[in-house]
A and B are shown apart, each in its own frame.
Chain A
């Protein structure tokens, strides 16, 4: 992140959201709203004096709300840029931070700022969000956490400095249960999240090697360890003494006194019902499209898959390009994938975007819509119909087709009641001739 931020050809805009995109490949004009940080990035030295005097503690979203941060604080230790930010939702406007700042970089009156600029190509990499439904008492039982919360707990820079502690009493749990496929592979989210099996294998193995007296159970439907060396990794975990049970946990109840969780599950391998009292339960929750995916799809006019993830041009032959020329996707916004696949796709997207930018020209096919002004009754049905927003009206009311955004689908030609817009090579008279010939014989 730091290297990217320091690169002379890369400009990063943090706390910003894209609100409007116009144009086409090579000539996109982008409007971005920079939300206020209430701290001037170019002046802040990152001394942290403001955090010391701030009286407000708030949940630390970087630590998945497992720890607290000050209302004015740095997002996390390696944040880029390493500049403090103020969370206005929690601020009581006591101005203690403003008074404490020697370089006067805190300004509570900052407003959102609209920035406009031109770009040639766009890569969407908006990632994913974790499912946070109330399955297995998540949100109600203290000691039921997600894999992401576990990742923060055992991270050396996490809330417990890497020591495994459970949320209810801060004690180290000895009996630990992992539940896979939570909120996924069901009717609502039919997909496999792709990474959770390996995540359970990795995290259970990490805990077991740190605390060999741990008693760890992983409950799974199928163990999906496709990929180089993954099956071997899974085998080593089993040899290390982690118990993998094929069967989904049917019920999970909390003991109100000890806050332990009693899980009942069926082991398909032995056909028996197993009861396991866990001190900590970790849910491998589904990966969902990130919260702003619908908006970004609308702004860039890219399609979405039925699952809600962004749709690629072709799932196997062209998984990077979208239907809009010059707009590429990579990572989990396109579908559930692990880090290796994300890195591959990100490199692919960067390469794909660099090809038209280096060439400086872009070849389109000639199969494009052709409006005919004389016949046009100006009902503008074609404008509403066009899935690529390639049709517009000029000052005199004439229909204009953007030949770059037009993909030659012909929906405008099909909807036009006065046959005033045609698709080159697929014109009405050509089809009429074909149909008539069929019935001549």
Chain B
């Protein structure tokens, strides 16, 4: 979406490719939070 409306991501956002939003489990979310992420957006 950000790409199609020519918007820029803030530099503090990191995108991770997943085959399906279903692949994102609590393990991955907790790991990211544990590492210091402020928030996680699962987009499908």
Contact = CB atoms under 8 A, between A and B. Distances in A.
Contacts of A419: 27
A423 B19 CA distance: 9
A435 B19 contact: no
A199 interface: no
Given A410-B18, A426-B18, A431-B28, A438 B35 contact: yes
Chain B CB within 10 A, most for which of A367, A428, A431:
A431
A432 interface: yes
Nearest to B37: A439
Say whether chain A's binding surface is mostly helix, strand, loop, or mixed: helix
A411 interface: yes
B31 A414 contact: no
A408 interface: yes
Contacts of A408: 19-20
A406 to B, nearest CB: 11
Given A435-B31, A438-B35, A439-B35, A415 B19 contact: no
B16 A413 contact: no
20 contacts: A367-B19, A409-B19, A410-B20, A410-B22, A410-B23, A411-B20, A411-B23, A413-B23, A414-B23, A414-B24, A414-B28, A423-B19, A423-B23, A426-B18, A426-B23, A428-B27, A431-B16, A431-B28, A434-B16, A439-B37
Interface of A: 367, 387, 408-411, 413-416, 419, 423, 426, 428, 431-432, 434-436, 438-439
Interface of B: 14, 16, 18-20, 22-28, 31-32, 35-37
